């Protein structure tokens, strides 16, 4: 199966990666995950890059802009999945630190996060996530560090 493939579960349903092993979530719990509630879609991934999108609609703060916490959720989702792919199946990951610098916000459309590794060690991994708006303007730069535990 192509690692870039996604599937839809029916009319209006959130799209999910066709290869569910990337999420390691039992199918009966898939709709209870934060990424499903926020509309996050993983659009492509490989060993050196993970890309996902998130709609602004439904993820706004009271003033109508994309909520900064939504950027953090997108960044941590991409970074954690990338870290999990790095260690699978020999280990598990847990987030240690997430920092987000919000450069500008978005009012509509989709934001896209691109996650790339900064450091991939045996015990600690660090990823950078750049989030852009629908006009390709940088809205947030995030850095996630995860601890690797061996199984």
Residue by residue, DSSP assigns 75-93 as HHHHHHHHHHHHHTTTEEE
d(CA 25, CA 119): 26
Q: How large a percentage of the chain has pLDDT more than 70?
A: 80
Q: Which are the catalytic amino acids?
A: 76
Is the residue at 4 inside a domain? no
pTM greater than 0.85 (yes/no): no
Summarize pLDDT for 34-78 with one digit per residue, the tens: 999 999 999 999 989 999 999 999 999 999 999 999 999 999 999
pLDDT band at 150 (very low <50, low <70, confident <90, very high): confident
Summarize pLDDT for 107-131 with one digit per residue, the tens: 999 999 999 999 999 999 999 999 9
Instruction: List 110's β-bridge partners, or say none.
Output: 55
**Domain encompassing residue 92:** 41-150
Q: Which residue has the higher pLDDT, 58 or 24?
A: 58
d(CA 98, CA 144): 5
Neighbours of 57 (CB within 10 A): 12
Domain count, the chain: 1
Instruction: List 49's β-bridge partners, or say none.
Output: 46
Is the residue at 23 inside a domain? no
Is the residue at 132 inside a domain? yes
CATH assignment at residue 50: 3.10.129.10
Mean pLDDT calculated for residue range 71-86 = 96
Is the residue at 14 inside a domain? no
């Amino acid at each position: 199966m192509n690692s870039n493939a996604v599937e839809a579960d029916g009319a209006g349903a959130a799209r999910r990666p066709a290869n569910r092993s990337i999420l390691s979530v039992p199918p009966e719990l898939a709709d209870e995950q934060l990424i499903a509630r926020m509309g996050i879609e993983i659009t492509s991934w490989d060993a050196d890059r993970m890309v996902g999108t998130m709609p602004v609609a439904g993820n706004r703060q009271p003033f109508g802009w994309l909520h900064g916490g939504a950027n953090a959720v997108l960044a941590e989702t991409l970074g954690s999945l990338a870290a999990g792919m790095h260690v699978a199946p020999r280990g598990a990951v847990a987030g240690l630190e997430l920092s987000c610098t919000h450069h500008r916000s978005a009012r509509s459309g989709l934001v896209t996060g691109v996650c790339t590794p900064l450091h991939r060690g045996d015990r600690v991994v660090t990823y950078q996530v750049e989030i852009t708006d629908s006009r390709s303007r940088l809205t947030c730069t995030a850095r996630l560090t995860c601890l690797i535990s061996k199984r």
